């Protein structure tokens, strides 16, 4: 049975969206830049690289989800550019030349967009439109995964990264405990792969993938089970408790200023994948169901989130003992957003999710 790899479905959908959009633009004699064959080749290469972590029906669904987004974008460009957040005359937009670029292979999390459209109207200045593409079974979407220590450093030190010593110096005993937990997990996962305990898993993986080099080795359930059996608890539960404690204590220490600081708001938006950027989620509950494209511009949960991500916000993480999930409460005056949650993975990576 195929196992779904995080990101594989979305990556195929991204290339499929570019492929369909380029095809339709070419048919309308409006395409500039790469054609559909270029994106088809990239999609096939991606399927070769990650597709063996998906069943064939799931690959087909990812293609359909991407195709639906490509159609949605083309139809909006033709009839209602405001659906894409564009302030371009509809007639002018319907005849503009358009270049499609895929940028979703940027895995460093610097930008939330997966594709960028360059729209070149005949009589006005060109416009760049970034779009984040998502392909899920429901309206719940990932706002991207981040390093937990880098996240805390961004929010409370306004730095991309800091040294271990600087992190511990700023966050105190909980910061030191977090690094001890990270060191323990890293040593244990290395011990697992170096020991006979991993032999059966690696043999099976090699039969399936043709290599013993494991993709995302630190997040494998076998690593988590080895850690649990050795220490009596799940690493993700410990990481979630520590992350939430450090976050809430840091907010409390700066409660009078953190919600109004431009730097904190800028970094928080980055952590939440800049939700002001247009996001299109192709929802398909099953491999055979129709695809519905949900736009963040019309989705009330996205609008609500953006309305509270303003100066004066208050934010708290609510962690339940023995869980890797935390609730997220953001308020600003009489406004609130409680549709966010935080998931913490085995290797301490954090992932905010919006239940839209």
pLDDT at 2 > cutoff 50:
no
Q: How confident is the model at residue 5 (pLDDT cuts 50, 70, 90)?
A: very low
Region 194-208 average pLDDT: 92
Region 163-180 average pLDDT: 96
Give pLDDT, residue 6.
40
Q: How confident is the model at residue 1 (pLDDT cuts 50, 70, 90)?
A: very low
Average pLDDT of the chain to the nearest whole number? 90
Burial 320-330 (b: 16+ CB within 10 A, else e): eeeebebebeb
Single out the residue of 326, 338, 284 nearest to residue 138, CA to CA: 284
pLDDT of 112-164, one tens digit each? Answer: 789 999 999 887 789 999 999 999 998 889 988 899 999 999 999 999 889 99
Burial 168-193 (b: 16+ CB within 10 A, else e): bebbeebbebbbebbeebeebbeebb
| Every domain of the chain and the residues it spans | 8-136, 144-272+310-355
Structure tokens at 255: 């409660």
pLDDT of 16-63, one tens digit each? Answer: 999 999 999 999 999 999 999 999 999 998 888 776 677 888 899 999
Structure tokens at 156: 């409370």
pLDDT of 31-43, one tens digit each? Answer: 999 999 999 999 9
pLDDT of 87-118, one tens digit each? Answer: 998 999 989 999 999 997 654 455 678 999 99
């Amino acid at each position: 049975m195929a196992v779904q790899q995080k990101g594989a479905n979305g990556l195929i959908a991204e290339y499929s969206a570019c492929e369909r959009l380029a095809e339709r633009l070419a048919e309308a004699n409006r395409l500039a830049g790469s054609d559909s064959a270029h994106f088809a080749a990239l999609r096939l290469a991606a399927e070769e690289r990650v597709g063996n972590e998906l069943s064939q029906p799931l690959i087909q669904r990812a293609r359909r989800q991407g195709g639906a987004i490509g159609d949605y974008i083309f139809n909006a460009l033709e009839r209602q550019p405001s659906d894409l957040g564009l302030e371009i005359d509809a007639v002018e937009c319907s005849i503009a030349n358009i270049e499609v670029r895929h940028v979703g292979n940027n895995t460093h999390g610097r930008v939330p967009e997966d594709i960028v459209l360059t729209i070149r109207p005949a009589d006005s200045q060109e416009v760049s439109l970034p779009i984040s593409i998502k392909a899920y079974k429901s309206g719940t979407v990932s706002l991207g995964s981040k390093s937990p220590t880098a996240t805390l450093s961004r929010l409370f030190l306004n730095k991309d990264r800091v040294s271990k010593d600087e992190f511990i110096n700023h966050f105190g005993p909980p910061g030191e405990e977090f690094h001890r937990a990270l060191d323990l997990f890293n040593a244990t996962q290395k011990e697992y792969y170096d020991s006979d305990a991993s032999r059966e898993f690696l043999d099976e993986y090699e039969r399936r993938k043709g290599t013993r080099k494991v993709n995302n080795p630190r997040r494998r359930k076998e690593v988590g089970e080895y850690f649990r059996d050795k220490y009596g608890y799940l690493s993700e539960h410990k990481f979630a408790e520590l992350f939430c404690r450090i976050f809430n204590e840091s907010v409390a220490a700066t409660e009078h200023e953190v919600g109004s600081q431009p730097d904190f708001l800028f970094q928080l938006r980055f952590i939440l994948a800049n939700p002001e950027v247009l996001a299109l989620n192709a929802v398909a509950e099953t491999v055979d169901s129709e695809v519905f494209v949900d736009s963040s511009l019309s989705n009330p949960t996205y609008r609500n989130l953006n309305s509270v991500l303003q100066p004066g916000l208050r934010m708290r993480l609510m962690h339940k003992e023995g869980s890797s999930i935390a609730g997220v409460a953001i308020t600003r005056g009489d406004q609130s957003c409680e549709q966010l949650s935080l998931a913490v993975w085995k290797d301490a990576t954090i992932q905010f999710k919006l239940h839209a």
